């Protein structure tokens, strides 16, 4: 490869475009990060998930989760997980507009969850974002860069 063609390859590399490709290609990983975060009991504000301000389930919810909760998180009662049978977790969808990404759920009670627990409950924490950056974004950006400059 000539020096000029290498310079052109470097000049034409867009970190923004590559980042967008990587984010879009890894939406499943991002959804899994959110599911893991929810199962650990944390919203995007890095605070415990709350139901109307409480970080604990009611006695009736604990009873119902003990009887009817589905694995793996439906039986957890020591912190709020927003999981009984998994419909909410399984319905999480990822959207990216080129500047920021967000999650939504299409279960009939999604608005109720957001009302009880706040919008931050379906945002990633700084920790979850750092996991994505370290495990996915940085290595894949580096690989794309190396591929471009070695052409």
Question: What would the two tokens of residue 19 be?
Answer: 């980042």
| Residue 1 pLDDT class (50, 70, 90 cuts) | low
| Residue 98 pLDDT class (50, 70, 90 cuts) | confident
Let me know: does 22 contact 137? Beta carbons within 8 Å.
Answer: yes
Question: What would the two tokens of residue 145 be?
Answer: 């860069």
The domain spans of the chain are 13-149
Question: What would the two tokens of residue 26 be?
Answer: 């890894």
Question: What would the two tokens of residue 121 be?
Answer: 């409950």
Neighbours of 117 (CB within 10 A): 19
Distance CA 34, CA 147 (A): 31
Q: What is the pTM of this model?
A: 0.90
pLDDT tens, residue by residue, 56-87: 999 999 999 999 999 989 999 999 999 999 99
Distance CA 41, CA 73 (A): 10
**Average pLDDT of every residue of the chain:** 93
- What pLDDT, on the 0 to 100 scale, is given for residue 8? 76
């Amino acid at each position: 490869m000539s020096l000029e063609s290498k310079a052109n390859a470097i000049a034409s590399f867009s970190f923004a475009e590559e980042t967008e490709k990587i984010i879009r290609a890894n939406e499943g990983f991002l959804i899994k990060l959110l599911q893991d975060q929810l199962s650990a009991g944390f919203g995007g504000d890095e605070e415990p998930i709350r139901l109307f301000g409480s970080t604990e389930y009611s006695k009736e919810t604990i009873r119902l989760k003990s009887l009817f909760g589905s694995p793996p998180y439906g039986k957890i009662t020591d912190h709020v997980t927003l999981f009984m049978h998994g419909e909410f977790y399984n319905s999480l969808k990822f959207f990216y507009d080129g500047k920021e990404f967000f999650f939504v759920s299409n279960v009939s009670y999604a608005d109720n969850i957001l009302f009880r627990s706040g919008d931050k409950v379906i945002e990633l924490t700084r920790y979850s974002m750092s996991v994505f950056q370290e495990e996915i974004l940085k290595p894949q950006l580096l690989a794309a860069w190396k591929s471009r400059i070695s052409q």
